[in-house]
């Protein structure tokens, strides 16, 4: 029982990381690109770094939404099927 709960916790963290990774990587790479652009042009505008990241992350989330929904649905079905094991 205890091992199953630990495995469920690990699976939860893996699923959360897998779902967050596309948005986080997009934000990181766009932030790096904007930083390099600002360093080369010597433009130090704070809002210049936020807008491309926000737009990029929103686009990536919209494009990966079907995949994310499938991952969440599969995980939820797995957890719901495990409920009888934990009730005993």
Residue 47: per-residue pLDDT: 80
Q: How far is 31 from 34, CA to CA, in rounded Å? A: 5
Domains identified in the chain, total number: 1
For the chain, the maximum distance between any two Cα atoms, rounded to a whole number of angstroms, is: 65
What's the rounded mean pLDDT across residues 6-22?
A: 96
pLDDT in tens, 28-71: 999 999 989 988 988 888 788 889 999 999 999 999 999 999 99
Residue 2: per-residue pLDDT: 86
Residue 76: per-residue pLDDT: 96
What is the domain extent for residue 43? 2-87
Residue 85: per-residue pLDDT: 85
């Amino acid at each position: 029982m205890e091992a199953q709960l630990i495995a469920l916790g690990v699976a939860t963290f893996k699923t959360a990381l897998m779902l967050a990774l596309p948005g986080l990587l997009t934000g990181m790479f766009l932030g790096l690109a904007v930083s390099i652009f600002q360093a080369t042009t010597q433009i130090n505008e704070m809002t210049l770094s936020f807008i491309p990241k926000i737009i990029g992350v929103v686009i990536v989330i919209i494009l990966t939404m079907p995949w994310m929904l499938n991952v969440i649905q599969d995980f939820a079905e797995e957890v719901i099927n495990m409920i009888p094991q934990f009730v005993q």
